[in-house]
Amino acid sequence: MKLLETILLTTDFGKGSAPAMDAAVALAQTFESKLVLLHVIAESLLPFLSDQGDIAEIEKRLHEVAKQIEAQGVGAPEIFLGKGVPAEVICGEAARRDANLIVIGCGARERGGKCRPGVTADRLLRRAITPVWIARMGAAPTPRRILCPTDTSAASRRGLKNALALCRKFNAKLTVLNVQEPMLPLHTPIVGLSQEKDQARLNRQQRDFDELLTAFDFHSVDWTKKVRYGTTHKEIVAEAAELKADLITMGTVGKTGVERILLGSVTHKVLQELPCSVLTMKEEDVVRLRLESAISAIEEHFMRGQQLLERGLLADAVREFDQCLLSSPAYAAAWKGKALAYERLGEKDQAEAARAAAKRIRELRRP
């Protein structure tokens, strides 16, 4: 079973593409993923390509990169050479192939050691529905320390779910960060808040953060939570620097309400600093299960459920066990698996009901 089935690796053959290749290879090795290697000839350059020989030279370079990838033991990647507006072509190919992830480099390093996304990466982040991994120059391709900034939005929940899956696969340490922004005394009258009410707002945000964490299964993950106070993007960058984080996972839509802070704009500001590699998600998960209707074998669904249970993808595990029970309602092991998943989800009544069903089936089978 592959939870990260297809990775779309973009290259412009520049220095920034090297860390992207390293990250994509590490992911493909870990998740046994299929790699698609893509280069786009910008439409503005097409008039300067004199003949088919120029195209052939680009294809040759693509094949050279493919050989470097294959030499690392992940299998020969599929090669695609596109023409047009790079961000549009990349998004289109990701959608056509139902890719789980787009991996792209961050561009050249600037003075002072900073890296920022190039034009294509920046446009890609704005347009892509598919999750995007921006690999920073100098970053470790295999993340060992992952930072996940969260609020209470659906985007943050998606980011945390994927951060947990990556931590389990890479045996990485996770820091779940919540940034609280106190209102400046000068601003509180403008938005109709007293300092006392603003403190109550911060206390409520802390409770919401703690409640959010109870909805996730941190089984087998080395993790900690952290609260910082200040400007959101600055605190995220500071925390990443202190942790020496290898990867930040972020949703692209965040807080609403009196703060009127969109995590999308926060993400953009973090990317201008790019303290490490960054994984952004809008509408799709990086790690997601593909339920194939053609699969009818009970044992296949059961094994999927067991693997998902071990990886902490509990809702997906329940669905797999349900697939077993649709074909064989008396499959006690599937009922037991459901009980374990519901228990770790905090659904005590459903866990008890599934456990009781498994017990009844076993009792009926006794001689």
SS3 content of the chain, % helix, strand, coil (to 5): 50, 15, 35
Confidence of residue 365 (pLDDT cuts 50, 70, 90): low
Task: For the chain, give the longest Cα–Cα distance.
Answer: 83
What pLDDT score does 262 carry? 38
Residue with tokens 């390093």: 109
Quick: pLDDT tens for 61-94: 999 999 999 999 888 999 999 999 999 999 999 8
| pLDDT above 50 (res 259) | no
Domains 145-281 and 298-365 alike in fold: no
Q: How confident is the model at residue 50 (pLDDT cuts 50, 70, 90)?
A: low
Element (H, E) at 190: none
pLDDT at residue 342, as a whole number: 93
Q: What are phi and psi of 194, to 5 degrees?
A: -85, 165
- CATH fold, domain 298-365, is 1.25.40
Q: Is the pLDDT of residue 120 over 90?
A: no
Least confident segment among 162-166, 195-199, 290-294: 290-294
Instruction: Please state the domain extents for the chain.
Output: 6-135, 145-281, 298-365
Lowest mean pLDDT among 52-66, 146-160, 199-213, 214-228: 199-213
pLDDT greater than 80 at residue 6: yes
Cα 330 from Cα 363, distance rounded (Å)? 12
Per-residue confidence (pLDDT) for residue 199, from 0 to 100 = 72
Give the whole-number percent of the chain exceeding pLDDT 70: 84
Q: Is it the case that residue 20 has pLDDT exceeding 60?
A: yes
Residue 278 pLDDT: 94
- pLDDT tens figures, 263-287: 457 888 888 888 899 999 876 677 6
- Residue 147's pLDDT is 97
What does the pLDDT read at residue 255? 41
Give residue for tokens 């992830």: 101
42-71 average pLDDT score: 85
Give the pLDDT score at 72: 93
Q: What is the structure's pLDDT at 56?
A: 85
Q: Which of 3-17, 61-75, 233-247, 276-290 has the lowest mean pLDDT?
A: 276-290
Total-model pTM:
0.74
Structure confidence at residue 258 (pLDDT): 33
Query: Among the residues of the chain, which ranges form H helices?
Result: 17-31, 52-70, 86-96, 119-127, 154-170, 195-214, 232-243, 263-273, 298-310, 314-327, 332-345, 348-365
Backbone angles phi, psi at 17, to 5 degrees: -80, -20
145-281, CATH topology level:
Rossmann fold (3.40.50)
Which fold is adopted by the domain 6-135? Answer: Rossmann fold (3.40.50)
